Structure 1
Amino acid sequence: MNEVPKLDLYDVLVVGGGPAGATAAHELAKAGRSVMLLDRAGRTKPCGGAVPPQLLRDFDVPDSLMVAQIDTARIISPTWRTVDIPVGNGYVGMVDRDVFDEWLRTRAAQAGAERHVGTFTNFARGADGIPVISYTDGKSRAGEVRQVRARMVIGADGALSPVARQCIPNSHKAKHVFAYHEVVKSPVAGDEANFGAARCDVYYQAPLSPDFYAWVFPHGATTSIGTGTLQKGFGLKDAVAKLRQETGLDQVETIRKEGAPIPIKPLPQWDNGRDVVLAGDAAGVVAPASGEGIFYAMTGGRFAAEAVLAALVTGNAKALRHARRRFMRMHGPVFAVLDIMQTFWYRNDNRRERFVAICRDRDVQQLTFDGYMNKQLVKAKPLAHVRIFFKNLAHLTGLATA
């Protein structure tokens, strides 16, 4: 009679090696837990790559990973009116995701996490109730099927997370923006492109995106040109081609093209009440309106790791709930405001025109970047909030011109 092979047992299996998963694996390994980090090869995700200085401080990330520092955001209205918003005393850092994510995974491995290349396929339980996870080994789905056991599982496997869909009720109802970008060589001196090496350009124009925005984000030697929308069937590639032509960026070399869904609303439930918790895009923690996700993914990854650690130490699976509770207590108000902003102001070009007009206001500019830098709603300037309220009201009622 053939003996059934004994499966490896880990304290935690982290599925997904992006910013959320790599951060969670690092935190848990650093705490002395046995961790397996499972990440599939060839991951692609359209991402502007913007990170706030707060991320460098919170997660001990070196400045050397920044490939550019942005000092201005330029927003462009449907009628091509532009507003330049200076960052102020700080900057917006830009990272290349392939380099940045790999650095995070390497750091997790150096802390003790075991890295494996493979694709998650199935979640089950053994006779003892411990999760048994199946995955295809290697760089393709045709790889050999392998299994491991883990007391806890963190699903950080992206917007259409298979872990979430197998383990978390109603996760399939998540809302997503369909995003696409092209990474190109940045223009050099003498090129006629409308381009700023230290400036992020954001286009609020229906032909480029009917309900989100299009962007040109410089990354030093390369630049990301992309767009996103909630509308299925919208021609994302055609929109990016149009943007490149109108900005003169159709003359520079294309390095690669990527497309993927990006969540725009946190899921109402992140854990199964027993041994699985979500983080990053799998949990839906990309900011509405802005699409910013790296900082929130890493924060969610840390909270998921701490919740799992508490559950392992106490034996109480209710600790897993704390990941979402902590995140929403800290960032939920910002997400709520951004969701309202996107729902109202991005609806049509008339409203987008008025939105860009509001962004000329210095109070709006100051509070926007104060909030971005500190990752919370700014409460220190009540009079500025009052002024912004009445300016918004004027634009909403048509008393103010766009």
Structure 2
Amino acid sequence: MADPRVNGQGAAQVDAVVVGAGPAGAAAAWELARAGRSVVLLERGPFPGSKNLYGGVVYGRILDQMVPRWWEEVPVQRWVVRRSTMVATPTQALTVDYRTQAWGRPPYNGMTAFRSEFDRWLAGKAVAAGATLVTSTVATGLLRDETGRIAGVRTDRPDGDLRAKVVIACDGVNSFLAKEARLLPRVDAAHHTLGVKEVLALPREVIDQRFGLRGDEGADFEILGCTGGIPGGGFLYTNADTVAVGVVLSLPHLAASKKRPEEVIAGLKAHPAIAPYLEGATLKEYGAHLIPEGGYDHIPQLHTDGMLVAGDAAGMCLAAGIWLEGVNFAIGSGLAAGRTAARAVASGDTSAAGLAAYRRELEEGFVLANHKRLRAAPGLVLSDRVQHRYPGLIADLAEGMFTVTDPTPKPGLLKLLRRAARRNDVRLRHLLMDGLRGGRAFR
């Protein structure tokens, strides 16, 4: 480890230790290093991103704060210019398909990227700013001083205790350090989903032809009604010469269904609206990870004496149906944690009171402001009617509208709506209630 001082007890001493070199940890370490603080960034894998699985789009606007013109160097697969939202039944699909060329040029909107490349690039920015990256090292627990206050971390290295004025836990969902600090309550499966993804190889020209893309253009599909009766959703997006397809599933309902996640993915891949995109593709990678989807009302306590929590460890993933965002929220929380820790070290007050500005900064910025505004969305999106009845209602309504009924007169829209509602066991008053509920949730 470069630079850390050694105290009288033989343990390395730094201003801050950041545990986890994902987007949150790299951003926190970058902020601390650029403030002139000695900071060690610990990563359990052989390199940042080696242990990460991600099934979505990285939204890079938050990177404007870290790297001017970041799009010129970020390891991107494709720039997303096409966003499709699909509702499906086993035999139907209705898609709202939006594309814009504005997203295909600077400053861009979203990109597909491999986390193994993106995380390594972002951690490299922290190292360039002065952070010390230590890989293949597990933080096995917290160190405490004589008063019981958090004062660093233990690692699995011989003589690997690392003392610090502040510890920032960015060690992912179900954070062991946050649990040890009693900041993270016992995991409630009802507030977590399982994300499962397959990466399938296809020639670049085939992807371009099937998805209507050119050059570095990319597509992102978000799908409702494709999870075999298990609350959740599906996704399909393009990389340079692979496509990623997967599902996000409610943990309790997945367990109750007795289905394996790969069975649900197989059903999605075989859907008539999806199968033509994937014909002839070969499997390259399969993986799964937990996603915190409890939203604002289930975000844990974020600080205590000598410690902050950021990223997925703090439940920062935004899962609000229309928006499913994680990396940008992780970076935003990491930047706020790093700034707060740097100020606290400079002032000499790394107590809970000295670190309390972290929560306030998140509330005033986009991270918790968006979570708070959309706090009702997760419950609505995962509700029984939205998951199991409305996809069929929407698809049947569309089918009725576009089915030519000659020589009989065309039915009116209200008649079609009533017919679709009856077929899918939806009462119009429930439809009105959920419409109002959705209006409030997404206002």
What per-residue deviation string (whole Å, max 9, x for no partner) do you get for residues 254-279 of structure 1?
A: 22222110111355444342111100
* 2:39 is the alignment partner of 1:35: yes
Instruction: Name the counterpart of 1:149.
Output: 163
**SS of residue in 2 equivalent to 1:158:** coil
* 2:113 is the alignment partner of 1:74: no
Unaligned runs of 5+ in 1: 138-143, 360-391
Q: Which amino acid in structure 2 is aligned with residue 52 of structure 1?
A: Y
- Whether the aligned pair in 1 keeps the contact of 2:192 and 2:291 (CA below 8 Å) is yes
Instruction: Name the counterpart of 1:276.
Output: 307
What per-residue deviation string (whole Å, max 9, x for no partner) do you get for residues 305-330 of structure 1?
A: 11212222221532322223322343
Give the alignment of 1:234-383 within 5 angstroms. Answer: 234-246=259-271, 247-248=275-276, 249=278, 251-265=280-294, 266=296, 267-288=298-319, 289=321, 290-314=323-347, 315=349, 317=351, 318-329=353-364, 330-344=369-383, 347-353=386-392
Select 1:98's aligned residue among 92, 116, 120. Answer: 116
In structure 2, the CA distance between the partners of 1:355 and 1:331, relative to structure 1 (3 Å rule), is: farther
In structure 2, the CA distance between the partners of 1:12 and 1:49, relative to structure 1 (3 Å rule), is: same
* 2:138 is the alignment partner of 1:119: yes
**SS of residue in 2 equivalent to 1:169:** coil
In structure 2, the CA distance between the partners of 1:347 and 1:26, relative to structure 1 (3 Å rule), is: same
- Whether the aligned pair in 1 keeps the contact of 2:16 and 2:38 (CA below 8 Å) is yes
In structure 2, the CA distance between the partners of 1:53 and 1:100, relative to structure 1 (3 Å rule), is: closer
What per-residue deviation string (whole Å, max 9, x for no partner) do you get for residues 132-171 of structure 1?
A: 411124xxxxxx4621111100000001111111113343
- Structure 1 stretch 60-69 or stretch 9-18: which is displaced more? 60-69
- Whether the aligned pair in 1 keeps the contact of 2:204 and 2:242 (CA below 8 Å) is no
Aligned length: 359
- Structure 1 stretch 318-327 or stretch 257-266: which is displaced more? 318-327
Whole-angstrom CA distance in 2 between matches of 1:228 and 1:354: 22
Instruction: Name the counterpart of 1:84.
Output: 96
**SS of residue in 2 equivalent to 1:171:** coil
**SS of residue in 2 equivalent to 1:182:** strand
- Whether the aligned pair in 1 keeps the contact of 2:183 and 2:302 (CA below 8 Å) is no
Q: Which amino acid in structure 2 is aligned with residue 51 of structure 1?
A: V
Unaligned runs of 5+ in 2: 1-7, 104-108, 399-427, 436-443
- Whether the aligned pair in 2 keeps the contact of 1:72 and 1:84 (CA below 8 Å) is no
Aligned-residue offset at 1:337 = 4.7
In structure 2, the CA distance between the partners of 1:11 and 1:261, relative to structure 1 (3 Å rule), is: same
Whole-angstrom CA distance in 2 between matches of 1:309 and 1:203: 42
- Whether the aligned pair in 2 keeps the contact of 1:209 and 1:228 (CA below 8 Å) is no
Whole-angstrom CA distance in 1 between matches of 2:44 and 2:392: 42
Aligned-residue offset at 1:229 = 1.1
Instruction: Name the counterpart of 1:167.
Output: 181
Q: Which amino acid in structure 1 is aligned with residue 196 of structure 2?
A: Y
**SS of residue in 2 equivalent to 1:172:** coil
Select 2:201's aligned residue among 185, 189, 203. Answer: 185
Instruction: Name the counterpart of 1:396.
Output: 432
- Whether the aligned pair in 1 keeps the contact of 2:193 and 2:292 (CA below 8 Å) is yes
Aligned-residue offset at 1:32 = 0.3
Aligned-residue offset at 1:193 = 9.5
Larger Rg: 2
